[in-house]
Amino acid sequence: MLASQGATPNEMDGAYRDWLHSKTGKRSCKELTSPQLDALVRELKRDGWLTDYRPGGRADNRPTDAQWRKLAALCHELDWDKGLDDPALDRFCMRTAHVASARFLTKALMSQVITGLERWIAGGFPHETH
């Protein structure tokens, strides 16, 4: 909305931070806890400002939202700080599914990666370094 009114990037950033402060008491999402972020995302979705995001798109062969959530949870369990964007996940995808990044996974390949991570965790995985 501000961009269409000719606002500068600094003005848009300031407006965003003012809005965030009015909602959360913080001026940066970096300062929010996970539950606070979850609540903010729910509010943005409810108000129509945020839609679900799937890395890689929504074609029929693309992983489902449930698969992305499961993969994100496994990344968290493995302490991969960057989640779905963590280089350790990309390396695992390359070894398991022969794709350079999780965003290139199909539903079937996603199932292979999820199963592989679950087995790795069940076997007492060694933490991969970044």
Residues of the chain with pLDDT under 70: 1-5, 50-58, 125-130
Residues with Cβ within 8 Å of residue 117, at least 6 apart in sequence = 71, 74, 78, 92
Question: Scanning the structure block, which residue is given the tokens 């992305």?
Answer: 68
The reported pLDDT for the residue numbered 39 is 86
> Per the structure block, which two tokens stand in for 125?
């995985």
Q: Give the Cα separation of 112 and 110 in Å (integer).
A: 5
Burial 50-88 (b: 16+ CB within 10 A, else e): eeeeeebeeeeebbeeebbebbeebbeebebeeeeebeb
pTM of the complete model beyond 0.75 = no
